Structure 1
Amino acid sequence: MASKDPVLIFGPTGHVGSSTARAAHEHGANIVFAMRDTNKAVPGFSADQERGIERVYADLTKPDTLQEAVTKTGAKRAFMYLVFTASDHMRSSITALKLAGIEFIVFLSSYTVPDDLNSLSKDTNFIALAHGKVETVLKEVYGPAGYVAVRPGGFATNTLRWKDMIKTGGDIKTPYPEALFDWISDEDIGRVAGSVLAKGPEVIQENGGRNWILLFGPHPISQADAIETICKVTGRDAKIMPLDEEGSVEFYTTTSHLPEPLSRQMVGMLKKRAELGKSDGLEGPKYEEAVANIQKYGGKAPTGFKQWVEKNKDEFEA
């Protein structure tokens, strides 16, 4: 049953945040947009659709604003995401939410996080480590029944990093074009997160006592095939140019604004994925369950990559 108390949606202007807000709203949740810029438009909500939805200033890097937002709205649940720059794995922010009255959190995590959080170490890749450390804090502050971590695979929206190259119709330079990804839709992630947020802790029991939900897109394809799909849908011609290792590192420092050491980790992960193909987690019972979870918790069949590109064609032409 949807919570009658207000629920905070952090990052409602983002792809996943806005989709989460729409899904929770459709499930009857009393959503509140928690925003750093309360004047910014929220995708998917017209002025009429937003009527009656409160906006409140809040910044996940500033715990005092979180306490004020919860106190002002009386919210009991929240959807939140990782802030990579947080120095304490978001402990101060999560603690502030707890002390202010938030009872249940849905956290946008990553498929890279291991089921056993105790297995995290300094050798764990930075994406898994950053998200896993926040999950660890959530477990310590809220207990295992006080949060659910939604762990999606590779976002379809990550392909937007190629849009400028696709628009110009020139060479599309990218690391390891043969590397496979599942390209999960932001709307699929948001539908699951919003549904879980509306239903609350009962979802954990539905999930066999696990407080994480793994999600993957339905059809893994290579980066090269993803680029070709985008070009076909948008009517563009482009030639794919694989980058060497140093060019790949520069690609991630430029497009993802990652420090060089983390960019090198990302390139290493891509190289491994290119070598392993589907065996890098994109096949087998665990993968099939993660795809099925989209229907199970989100209520709709998963979105294929071509379908996602067709729906978001304008984003590649903006």
Structure 2
Amino acid sequence: MRVRRTVLVTGGTGRVGGQVVARLVGAGDARVRVLSRDPARASVVLGPQVEVVGGDLAVPDGLSAALDGVDALFLVFPSVTADRAAGRLVTTLAERVGRIVYLSAHGVPDDPDGAAEPDGTIMGSHAHVEALIAGSAAEYAFLRSSGFAANTLAWAPQIRQSDVLRWFVPQASRALVHEADLGAVAARLLTDGRPHRGGYHLTGPEQLTQVEQLAAIGAALGRTLRFEEMDSAQAAAELFPSMPAGVAAGIIAGHAAMVAQPEPVTDTVRHLLGRPALTYAQWARDHAEDFTGRQ
């Protein structure tokens, strides 16, 4: 059973939030409102079918008008940077909105240890926000996503220039998620009439090494691409020069761990949408222009 709701989307001009907006508008069973720090720009991007309101998640006291009449919220939280505002934000949202669908990440435990202070990491931020929502929201759903397929757009600058990708840990094996699946799942959970209180581990339909991901991009482009492995020190220095050393090291170490322990595959997308999750090969075809520079 579906009911017509007023849905507020944060991150509505981003990759996942944009997919949520498109799904909701296309289905026509929700009134769609988007929160933006730059409403004039967002209005141009999203078009006349979407109401855009100004506001900043880091300033919860300024969200009253944006929340008027809202039944459900898609929340993309500015992890780490806005952690100090998380408590007040979630309290404000829970008081005004019946259901919160939060874009989280795989790895957050099912039972976070209360609303402990965040530890300065992205995963710690997700755990903190999840705990706050679980402790105060009437209904909620946590989209605990595996890695985003769109993260491999970081390869695009090299692939536009060469058939060689210099990167790290070629045999890291991941179950990357197409943002269209995240958007479709979020739209379903925001608008269906069933109650929700829990987390959903969302993945792509298969495990692929980074070498296999690169081959899928090559197939989409009609090119043969080659992976040239960088060691950890090279990767940190050349690929993440402006990133804190500890954060860069954590990213590289996380990929190294996925050689022996690949990201798991779940059937959650099929269960929620009634169809298989989209493949990485499909994602590569959908984003071929991003790797050529031709728009």
TM-score, reference length from structure 2: 0.88
Match of 1:246 among 209, 230, 233: 233
Match of 1:303 in 2: 278
Q: Distance in 2 between matches of 1:102 and 1:294?
A: 25
Structure 1 stretches of at least 4 aligned residues deviating more than 6 Å after TM superposition: 119-125
Quote the residue 2:58 is aligned against: 61
Partner of 2:106: 111
Q: Answer yes or no: is the 8 Å Cα contact 2:115–2:131 preserved in 1.
A: no
Aligned residues: CA RMSD: 2.7
SS at 1:39 equivalent: helix
Partner of 1:10: 10
CA distance in structure 2 between the aligned counterparts of 1:95 and 1:265, rounded to whole angstroms: 32
> Partner of 2:204 in structure 1?
217
Percentage of identical aligned residues: 24
Q: Distance in 2 between matches of 1:252 and 1:65?
A: 38
Which residue type is aligned with residue 15 of structure 2?
H
Q: How far 1:87 sits from its partner (Å)?
A: 3.1
User: Could you tell me how far apart the structure 1 residues matched to 2:44 and 2:221 are?
Assistant: 22
- Report the more deviating stretch, 245-254 or 32-41: 245-254
Alpha-carbon shift at residue 130 of structure 1 (Å): 1.8
Query: Contact 1:19/1:191 (CA < 8 Å) preserved in 2?
Result: yes
Label 1:122 to 1:249 Cα distance change in 2 as closer, same or farther (>3 A).
farther
- Structure 1 pair 196/88, CA: closer, same or farther in 2 (3 Å)? same
Secondary structure of the residue aligned to 1:306 is helix
Change (3 A) 1:13 1:231: same
Query: What's the CA shift string for 1:215-256, capped at 9, x where partnerless?
Result: 1100110111111211221134443221111123235635xx
Quick one: which amino acid aligns to residue 86 of structure 2?
M
Q: Alignment partner of 2:20: what SS?
A: helix
Q: Deviations over 1:83-129 (max 9, x none)?
A: 12013262222222234x21210000001112221299999993432
Amino acid at match of 1:105: I
Q: Is the 8 A contact 1:172 1:240 kept in 2?
A: yes
CA distance in 2 between counterparts of 1:3 and 1:310 reads: 34
Contact in 2 for aligned 1:162/1:172 (Cα 8 Å): yes
SS of 1:273's equivalent in the other structure is helix
Q: 2:128 aligns with which of 133, 137, 161?
A: 133
- In the alignment, the residues of structure 2 paired with residue 44 and residue 195 of structure 1 have an alpha-carbon distance, to the nearest angstrom, of 23
1:76 aligns with 2:64: no
In 2: Cα distance, 1:94 partner to 1:123 partner: 14
| C-alpha contact 1:18 1:43 (8 A) present in aligned 2 | no
Written as runs of structure 1 = structure 2, the 5 A alignment for 1:27-46 is: 28-40=29-41
- The one-letter amino acid paired with 1:61 is A
Task: Provide the C-alpha distance between the structure 2 equivalents of 1:83 and 1:58, rounded to a whole number of angstroms.
Answer: 13
Partner of 1:231: 218
Note if contact 2:205-2:276 (Cα within 8 Å) is conserved in structure 1: no
User: Unpaired runs of 5+ in structure 1?
Assistant: 205-209
Specify the SS of the correspondent of 2:155.
helix
**Structure 2 vs 1, CA of residues 259 and 66 (structure 1 numbering), >3 Å: closer, same or farther?**
farther
Counterparts of 2:89 and 2:115 in 1: how far apart (Å)? Answer: 22
Check the 8 A contact 1:24/1:197 in 2, yes or no.
no
The answer to whether the aligner puts 1:160 opposite 2:153 as a matched pair is: yes
> How many equivalent residue pairs?
291
Following TM superposition, by how much is the alpha carbon of 1:316 offset from its aligned partner in structure 2, in angstroms? 2.0
Supply the distance in 2 between the matched residues of 1:251 and 1:103 (Cα, whole angstroms). Answer: 46
How far apart, in 2, do the equivalents of 1:119 and 1:94 lie? 14
